């Protein structure tokens, strides 16, 4: 059993955001096992026979003593409609294989493609992605994500986005949103109208 994992994007036969995945792996490992890992997340991974024109998903499961990985073709699939759902007890601070609670919330999406989870009145994440909002000038992401995403971390380091506490009632102050994760990077052409977030 490999309780924790990382999903990594491969483009042009290159690992994307390697530094941020390695950093999150090390942080998560320490939280899970109360000690530092004696291996790297990417040890033993060989990228062979890949088509440079295609995008791949590298999934690395890990436990205290080792990893296993798989590589599969990835086609961009990112939700453009969200249903707000509330759960004040959900915790997904580590990227675990056990997604039972997230899946239960996802099942409440109704006619939308995904959910946007509200915890203690604050916006967090969609079920597989961090969220960005824009008012047409600034790009803001919630400072209360369920999971510290690797794409989100890089965008913050690059000062392309800012963090803020975002209440459910604050959503109306934005014009549009987009979801980002390791496989779906920020794209200024991918904004979705804020009206695509459904309440109640």
- pLDDT tens digit string along 14-40? 999 999 999 999 999 999 999 999 999
Please give the pLDDT value at position 119.
98
Q: Which three-class secondary structure state does DSSP give residue 86?
A: strand
Number of H helices, E strands in the chain: 3, 13
The stretch 152-175 carries a mean pLDDT of 97
Rounded Cα distance between 135 and 133, Å, is 7
Question: Has residue 44 got a pLDDT over 80?
Answer: yes
pLDDT band at 48 (very low <50, low <70, confident <90, very high): confident
Q: CB–CB of 20/155 below 8 Å?
A: no
pTM of the model: 0.95
pLDDT band at 1 (very low <50, low <70, confident <90, very high): confident
Residues 6+ apart with CB under 8 A from 152: 130, 141, 145, 161, 180
Backbone φ, ψ for residue 109 (5° rounding): -75, -15
Q: What is the pLDDT of residues 50-105, one digit of tens each?
A: 999 999 999 999 999 999 999 999 988 899 999 999 999 999 999 999 999 999 99
Please give the pLDDT value at position 75.
87
Q: Which three-class secondary structure state does DSSP give residue 60?
A: strand
Please give the pLDDT value at position 200.
73
Give just the sign of the alpha carbon dihedral 83, 86, 87, 90.
Answer: positive
Please give the pLDDT value at position 163.
98
Average pLDDT of the chain?
96
Q: CB–CB of 188/137 below 8 Å?
A: no
């Amino acid at each position: 059993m490999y309780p924790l994992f990382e999903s990594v994007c491969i483009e042009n036969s290159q690992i994307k955001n390697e530094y941020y995945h390695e950093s999150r792996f090390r942080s998560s490992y320490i939280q899970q096992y109360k000690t530092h890992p004696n291996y790297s997340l990417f040890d033993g991974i060989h990228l062979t026979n890949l088509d440079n024109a295609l995008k791949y998903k590298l999934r690395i499961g890990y436990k205290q003593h080792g990893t296993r990985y798989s590589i599969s073709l990835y086609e961009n699939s990112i939700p453009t409609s969200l249903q707000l759902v509330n759960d004040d007890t959900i915790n997904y601070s580590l990227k675990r294989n056990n997604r039972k609670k997230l899946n239960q919330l996802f099942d409440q999406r109704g006619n939308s493609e995904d959910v946007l989870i509200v915890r203690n009145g604050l916006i967090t994440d969609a079920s597989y992605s961090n969220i960005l909002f824009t008012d047409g000038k600034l790009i803001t992401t919630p400072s209360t994500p369920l999971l510290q995403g690797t794409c989100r971390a890089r965008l913050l380091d690059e000062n392309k986005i800012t963090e803020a506490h975002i209440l459910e009632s604050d959503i109306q102050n934005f014009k549009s949103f987009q979801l980002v994760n390791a496989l779906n990077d920020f794209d200024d052409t991918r904004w979705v109208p804020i009206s695509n977030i459904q309440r109640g």
